[in-house]
């Protein structure tokens, strides 16, 4: 949730961009307006704004990426992926697009496809530490983080690759360990919605811990 001052600043920015787009409907500023709508949680307005602008500027990849982000925020995975596919068809080296495509596939339980996009992102941007870290978690041969030999042995044992054990790790604040366990659960059962949701929770907790 945004602080009151941030909410006011966001509302002011939205008003300014709405006025700008109203003055010049052909302006590319529609993409900035759509992104502001997205950040304000007005996802319906963001999608409508993007789609309207893309009818005039179909090759404006920034707007298409904002649309994909908004659709993903709404849980519309396949429509988001369609937008990302359109970008990658013409811009196969778009790093941000590969990162987002990895997230969409990961949320859908398609971990191997997600890994492929992360590998491309890292290949294009070797300094992308977050994508590298996600790769180490999502690859099938991921090993336990840290140097705790006892925990490493437990995580390597398929007996403990369960939703309940992953949940315990998460509840104990062991976000990396939870992500490793839950990745194996999702890889084994990609249609397990609860496991996918817990994996996302573990990854969010990991990001919060790393600041």
CATH topology assigned to domain 11-74 = 1.25.40
Confidence of residue 207 (pLDDT cuts 50, 70, 90): confident
As a whole number of Å, the CA-based R_g of the chain is 20
Is the pLDDT score of 148 beyond 70? no
Query: Does residue 37 have a pLDDT over 80?
Result: yes
Q: Specify the domain boundaries for CATH 1.25.40.10 within the chain.
A: 11-74
pLDDT value at 135 more than 60: yes
Report the share of the chain in percent with pLDDT over 90.
77
Instruction: Give the model's confidence band at 41: pLDDT under 50 very low, under 70 low, under 90 confident, else very high.
Output: very high
Determine the Cα–Cα distance for residues 143 and 138; give it in Å rounded to an integer. Answer: 10
As a whole number, the mean pLDDT across the chain is: 89
Which residue, among 66, 59, 77, 71, has the nearest Cα to 30 in the 3D structure?
A: 66
Per-residue pLDDT at 179 = 92
* Token pair of 178 as six digits: 């939870």
Instruction: Give the range among 118-122, 142-146, 184-188 with minimum mean pLDDT.
Output: 142-146
The pLDDT assigned to 144 comes to 45
Grouping H, G, I as helix, E, B as strand and the rest as coil, residue 44 is helix
Asked if the model's pLDDT at residue 143 lies above 60, the reply is: no
Q: Distance between terminal CA atoms of the chain? A: 17
HSE (CB half, 13 Å, CA atoms) of 54? 21
The model's confidence at residue 2, banded by pLDDT at 50, 70 and 90, is low
pLDDT of 136 > 90? The answer is no
Q: What would the mean pLDDT of 36-57 be, rounded to a whole number? A: 96
Lowest pLDDT segment from 47-61, 128-142, 189-203: 128-142
């Amino acid at each position: 949730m945004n602080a009151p001052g941030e909410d006011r600043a966001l509302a002011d920015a939205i008003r300014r961009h709405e006025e700008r787009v109203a003055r010049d409907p052909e302006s590319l500023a529609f993409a900035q307006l759509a992104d502001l709508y997205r950040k304000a949680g007005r996802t319906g307005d963001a999608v409508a704004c993007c789609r309207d602008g893309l009818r005039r500027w179909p090759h404006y990849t920034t707007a298409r990426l904002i649309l994909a982000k908004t659709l993903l925020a709404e849980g519309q995975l396949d429509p988001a992926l369609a937008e990302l596919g359109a970008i990658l068809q013409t811009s196969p080296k778009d790093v941000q697009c590969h990162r987002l495509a990895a997230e969409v596939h990961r949320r859908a339980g398609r971990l191997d496809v997600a890994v492929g996009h992360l590998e491309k992102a890292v290949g294009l941007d070797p300094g992308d530490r977050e994508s590298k870290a996600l790769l180490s978690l999502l690859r099938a041969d991921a090993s336990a983080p840290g140097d705790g030999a006892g925990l490493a042995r437990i995580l390597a044992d398929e007996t403990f690759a369960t939703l309940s054990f992953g949940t315990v790790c998460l509840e104990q604040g062991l976000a990396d360990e939870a992500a490793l366990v839950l990745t194996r659960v999702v890889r084994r059962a990609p249609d397990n919605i609860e496991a996918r949701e817990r994996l996302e929770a573990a990854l969010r907790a990991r990001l919060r811990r790393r600041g």
